[in-house]
Structure 1
């Protein structure tokens, strides 16, 4: 079954909602803007294996919390503690979503989701991504606003960095609804278990030989 961004319904799983576009769209950026993009790109590419916690605030101030694990290339796990049991797992090939409350399992190829950009072996923000705005603060913090130029009306994402790391992202969808994800902790790790990035369909009943 195909999963759209809305079907995934998760700000965390929609991180970096950006798609491919011609590199010429970056021509309006200043040299300082390009330096900021390079800084963010270097940081994200270097974040090859990490874990942390997050707080997600939805359009109706619905609050969700959870933990995440990242292993580039291709793998990430969002494990929600509220609501308990909700899982979104990228296993390198597919993105799988399981909601135990609805007893539903959905799957879509990773390449067809925004996560493919974020989980690439080398993150590129200087090409293949439309950058609407780069905001720089005196403190050294900065934010990058981006969207998918092929589908510019589907929304945008703001990535915010401070203290040398990614702090949060805010996604605005096609209807103008905003979802904010704050990374309350984020730390590089090593030796993550492969089981973290495996999610089989719990709703599938084992077949019986007749």
Structure 2
């Protein structure tokens, strides 16, 4: 089975979109806005190993929560505690999703997902997105609204950073129909010596000897 963007859950496209912000291509932005984008880019480039917790809320009051781990290049893990057991794992080659409630396992090559940009060893800044709004607050906070330049009608992403020091606080993904999913990072901290097993996920539905 293939893994769709919606299947990835957790708003992964938002992180990839920010990692691709080409500030020099946004002629409508002020010098201050471009500087703010550059700060956000530098922050993400430096975010090589981290862990934390999140709360995700969607239309109709749906609420999910869990823990995540990041180890660039290539590796990420999203471990849901509600709904319990749901996993999304990137092992550096493939992004895999396991839903034990439905007994469904899916995967897709990392290079075919938005995660490939963010999880690269060197975050590229020359991929096209359309910046619709940059809003800065007096305390150093930053809100960025962007769309995929190639598919502007697919939806938008709004990212919120806190300042002093800069930190990613939350993001909201709105799809083409306007339905929004908000993800709040309730904890985000640097991590060292993450266990490699966190980024491995075998297909639990495969039986021994099954091709």
TM-score normalised by length of structure 1:
0.91
Aligned to 2:197, the other structure's residue is in SS state: helix
Structure 1: runs of 5 or more not aligned: none
CA-CA distance at 1:98 after TM superposition: 0.3
Distance 1:25 1:206 in 2: 52
Change (3 A) 1:125 1:158: farther
CA RMSD of aligned residues (A): 2.2
Establish whether residue 166 from structure 1 lines up as the match of residue 168 from structure 2.
yes
Inter-partner Cα distance in structure 1 for 2:147 and 2:80? 26
Q: Give the conservation status (yes or no) of the 8 Å contact 1:96–1:199.
A: yes
Aligned to 1:207: 209
Instruction: Report the TM-score, using the length of structure 2 for normalisation.
Output: 0.90
Matched position secondary structure for 1:192 = coil
Counterpart of 2:192 in structure 1 is: 190
User: 1:76 aligned to 2:90?
Assistant: no
Is the contact made by 1:17 and 1:114 (CA closer than 8 Å) also made in structure 2?
Answer: yes
- Deviation of 1:121 after TM superposition, in Å, equals 2.1
Q: Deviations over 1:109-146 (max 9, x none)?
A: 11211212222223345643322211111111011111
Which residue of structure 2 aligns with residue 11 of structure 1? 10
Equivalent residue runs for 1:1-210 within 5 Å: 1-8=1-8, 10-16=9-15, 18=17, 25-125=25-125, 127-163=127-163, 164-207=166-209
How many angstroms apart in 1 are the aligned matches of 2:4 and 2:169? 26
**Deviation of 1:24 (Å):** 7.2
Counting matched residue pairs gives: 208
Aligned partners of 2:189 and 2:23: how far apart in 1? 32
CA distance in 1 between counterparts of 2:119 and 2:179 reads 25
Closer/same/farther in 2, CA of residues 24 and 139 from structure 1, 3 Å limit: closer
CA distance in 1, matches of 2:121, 2:27: 25
- More divergent stretch after superposition (96-105 vs 139-148): 139-148
The runs of 5 or more residues in structure 2 that have no matched partner are none
